[in-house]
Amino acid sequence: MLRRLYSWTVDLARTPYALWALTVVAFLESSVFAIPPDVLLIPMIIAAPRRAFQFALVCTLASVAGAALGYVIGWQLYDTIGVRIVSFYGMEGAFDSFQGKFNEYGTWAVLFAGVTPFPFKVITITSGVTGLPFVAFMFWSLIARGLRFFILAVLLWKYGEPIRNFIEKRLGLMFTLFTVLLLGGFYLVRFL
């Protein structure tokens, strides 16, 4: 099943719809969706390495636009929508204590979460709830997401074929590692 899912993603990366799919996933991941855009970005770059920087740019801009939506959800819609998102991920208690610490390290949190597997939507919503200055939030979101996606693009562009071979030979291990990193990010949110 994992091999079929990987093949489907690589095949999607070669279609004209790939860029739209990446845009939607990157946008939604920053505010409501649990799956990071790397799931599409990596196979897209591997399938078309000459377009690596275009993919990274689209992913960055869509992710930052989604971050703005997450900020608005926290700022204006937390009581109706934001609380449901936080509840969906089972982070109600952690969110309250995290929110208290957030103001102290807000811009660092945006930078950290934007570059790591930490669930970025938690930071975008928290930034809006706590009133982190919007311009600073957008600036650091752009820097963080740009770093994350462009570093990935450079590495895959330069070392794409060996990385592709490594991934394909060790698909189960790579999926496990990805899942551990994703769940580790959610674990950090619960216990901060």
Q: pLDDT digits over 30-47, tens only?
A: 988 777 888 888 888 888
Mean pLDDT along residues 134-150: 94
pLDDT given for residue 61 in this prediction = 98
pLDDT-based confidence at residue 85 (cuts at 50, 70, 90)? confident
Q: What is the 3-state secondary structure (H, E, C) of the chain?
A: CHHHHHHHHHHHHCCCCHHHHHHHHHHHHCCCCCCCCHHHHHHHHHHCHHHHHHHHHHHHHHHHHHHHHHHHHHHHCHHHHHHHHHHHCCCHHHHHHHHHHHHHHHHHHHHHHHHCCCCHHHHHHHHHHHCCCHHHHHHHHHHHHHHHHHHHHHHHHHHHHHHHHHHHHCHHHHHHHHHHHHHHHHHHHHHC
pLDDT given for residue 57 in this prediction = 97
What percent of the chain shows pLDDT beyond 70? 74
Residue 160: pLDDT above 60?
Answer: yes
